Amino acid sequence: MKKTRYLLIALIFISSITISSSTDVVAQQTPTNNFSVINYPGAINTFALGINNAGQIVGYYYNNQENYHGFLLSSGNYTSIDYPKAISTTALGINNAGQIVGYYYDDSGNLHGFLLSSGNYTSINYPGENSISAFGINNAGQIVGNYIDSSEHFHGFLLVSGNYTPIDYPGENSTAPYGINNAGQIVGYYYNNLENNHGFLLVSGNYTSIDYPGANSTAAFGINNAGQIVGSYYDDSGHYHGFLLSSGETIQTTPEFGPVAPIVLGISILSIIILSVRTRFLHRS
């Protein structure tokens, strides 16, 4: 079975104060770092991908490459997240109500999004499409995600109260939304080819392109309630950098790296998550 693993965690650290996806806290440029290790009991590999204001953390773990499980870490207690009858489950986002979104593979190898709310699982399937993932959820329960069409192009969607709204940057063949704040502002990236990606902000039906000055490729992955945006860009020297976009001014937030891209994602009052992202997001494959 062919799997596409979009996110691989490189490092998570708990900072004293950073940006939150559900508060209006402004990020400090040099937080105090207190590292905490997150390992699901008995797992070989653990990846933490999302956190809410209560410090509840979601992600996935595995003991072999064919059997992934989501997890919730709350008050020091781990709970496995497995969509019923799924062969693999990944949890990506959690809001302040404890609602969790992610994706799973069914026993036929098909990809679906899911919502876990109050112990109940709901499959997320964009009408008429396959290969669906859910990436972000805000405190109103609004969900953003995407699906992959038969030409392997990404198309985004917003799911509100059971109704799907397509998200496609005008004139482009692939759009992938990843973050949504409590005002319903959405960020992600779009492209016509993998050599030239652009971030975007969607507000009240209006799209704004996000391009770090002088960058070859840019992608936006998270937005908080103050409208601050984080993501990554790829420069002329073949290096990746994270960035913070605040009040129209972009700030580089990570040092230079080679072909692995450190990204600030899942912004929260308790953490900055540095991600190593498969370069389908940004330039190389």
Whole-prediction pTM value? 0.79
CATH architecture, domain 7-277 = 6 Propeller (2.120)
> Is residue 216 predicted with pLDDT exceeding 50?
yes
For residue range 108-158, list pLDDT tens digits in order: 999 999 999 999 999 999 999 989 999 999 999 999 999 999 888 999 999
Q: What is the rounded average pLDDT of the residues 207-236? A: 93
pLDDT at 236 (0 to 100): 87
Residue 276: pLDDT over 80: no
Average pLDDT over residues 73-98: 97
Question: Which token pair is 112?
Answer: 């679906």
153-170 residue pLDDT tens = 999 999 999 999 999 999
pLDDT at 253: 53
Distance CA 192, CA 206 (A): 19
Q: Which residues contact 35 (CB under 8 A, 6 or more apart)?
A: 13, 14
User: By percentage, how much of the chain surpasses pLDDT 70?
Assistant: 73
For residues 203-230, average pLDDT: 94
Residue bearing tokens 């593979």: 105
pLDDT score at 192: 78
Confidence at residue 189, expressed as pLDDT on a 0 to 100 scale? 95
183, 211, 212, 272, 276 from 250: Cα distances, Å: 21, 9, 7, 17, 21
User: What's the pLDDT at 272?
Assistant: 28
Evaluate if residue 228 carries a pLDDT over 50. Answer: yes
Note the pLDDT tens digit of each residue in 8-49.
222 222 222 233 343 343 444 555 568 899 999 999 999 999
Instruction: Check residue 31 and give its pLDDT.
Output: 53
Question: Which distant-in-sequence residues (6+ apart) come within 8 Å of 163 by Cβ?
Answer: none
At 221 the pLDDT is 93
Residues 6+ apart with CB under 8 A from 152: none
Q: Where are the domains of the chain?
A: 7-277
**Residue owning tokens 């389908």:** 280
Q: Are 182 and 144 in contact (CB under 8 A)?
A: no
Q: What was the pLDDT predicted at 83?
A: 98
Residues 270, 104: Cα–Cα separation, whole Å: 27
pLDDT of res. 94: 97
Q: Kindly report which listed range (169-178, 199-208, 253-262) carries the lowest average pLDDT score.
A: 253-262
CA separation for the pair 190, 176 (Å, rounded): 6
Whether 182 and 141 have beta carbons less than 8 Å apart is answered as no
170: CB partners within 8 A, 6+ apart: 207
Q: What one-character-per-residue DSSP string does 226-284 give?
A: T--EEEEEE-TTS-EEEEEEETTEEEE-S--BSSS-EEEES--SSEEEEEEE-TTTTS-
Closest Cα to residue 128, out of 157, 106, 93? 157
Residue 194 DSSP SS3 = coil
